[in-house]
């Protein structure tokens, strides 16, 4: 695992692909950490791209800083990560779900940094019920994923919206039990949620 200490906390990241190579930065969504891009990595790196992906604050193995989770926070996280990795040339930015919103805001704030912007089902504030029904019908794995979320996670979030103080400890989410849970979610996303159903061809390829 690779980590960088940024102003707001530790950030878990990965960088792979030929060096030098045209830079692609992948920003994950609200459902899973950066491993949601696993099935795109071989195609992107095989096409000659150097790919950076990372866990947003509050997700995966990155820290959960005790701050307001705003667009400015995620904008700062990405900017600092790029600076630490000495990325100064314009790069390709790809975002999905919430990551799409973050990518759009970053591009609007730093247009000189972004060569191309690609969005996959970017987050919107209101999702019509018809769209939700269509999503559930698309694939069995998705319905299972949403069912688990609605039954297990939504009630917990509503009943206890504020995490215990221990959740803000820098290593809380990197202990053995948390690692096991994250790896279990990773397995679930690979077996049942099958993200390649949505993303099976990198958008940056010719």
Q: Is residue 206 part of a domain?
A: no
Provide the phi-psi class of 121: left if phi over 0, else alpha when psi is between -120 and 50, else beta. Answer: left
CATH at residue 52: 3.40.50.1820
Q: Is residue 57 part of a domain?
A: yes
Q: What is the pLDDT of residue 172?
A: 47
What is this structure's pTM? 0.68
| CA-to-CA dists, residue 31 to 23, 37, 157, angstroms | 25, 12, 14
Residues contacting 82, CB < 8 A, separation 6+: 25, 52, 91, 113
Q: Is residue 157 part of a domain?
A: no
Whole-angstrom distance, CA of residue 62 vs CA of residue 50 = 21
Q: Is residue 77 part of a domain?
A: yes
Q: What is the pLDDT of residue 194?
A: 42
Q: Work out the angle at residue 176's Cα, subtended by the Cα atoms of residues 33 and 171, and round it to the nearest 5 degrees.
A: 70
Q: Is residue 76 part of a domain?
A: yes
Q: What is the pLDDT of residue 135?
A: 52
Whole-angstrom distance, CA of residue 11 vs CA of residue 2 = 8
Domain span including residue 176: 2-125+162-197
Q: Is residue 37 part of a domain?
A: yes
Provide the number of structural domains found in the chain.
Answer: 1
Indicate if the alpha-carbon torsion angle 1, 82, 72, 125 is positive or negative.
Answer: negative
Q: Is residue 135 part of a domain?
A: no
Q: Which residues of the chain have pLDDT under 70?
A: 124-206
Q: Is residue 139 part of a domain?
A: no
Q: What are the φ and ψ backbone dihedral angles of 31, each rounded to 5 degrees? A: -85, -40
Q: What is the pLDDT of residue 197?
A: 39
For 172, the token pair is: 């809380």
């Amino acid at each position: 695992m690779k980590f960088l200490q940024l102003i707001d906390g530790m950030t878990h990241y990965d960088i792979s692909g030929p060096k030098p190579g045209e830079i692609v930065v992948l920003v994950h969504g609200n459902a899973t950490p950066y491993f949601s891009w696993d099935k795109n990595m071989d195609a992107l790196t095989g096409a000659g791209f150097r790919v950076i992906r990372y866990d947003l604050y509050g997700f995966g193995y990155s820290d959960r800083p005790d701050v307001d989770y705003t667009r400015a926070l995620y904008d700062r996280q990405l900017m600092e990560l790029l600076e630490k990795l000495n990325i100064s040339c314009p790069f390709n930015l790809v975002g999905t779900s919430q990551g799409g919103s973050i990518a759009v805001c970053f591009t609007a704030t730093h247009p000189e940094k972004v060569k191309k912007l690609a969005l996959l089902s970017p987050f919107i504030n209101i999702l019509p019920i018809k769209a939700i029904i269509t999503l559930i019908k698309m694939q069995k794995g998705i319905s299972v994923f949403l069912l688990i979320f609605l039954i297990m996670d939504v009630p917990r979030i509503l009943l206890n919206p504020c995490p215990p103080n221990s959740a803000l400890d820098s290593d809380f989410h990197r202990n053995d039990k948390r690692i096991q849970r994250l790896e279990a979610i990773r397995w679930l996303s690979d077996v049942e949620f099958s993200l390649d159903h949505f993303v099976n061809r990198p958008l940056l390829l010719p």
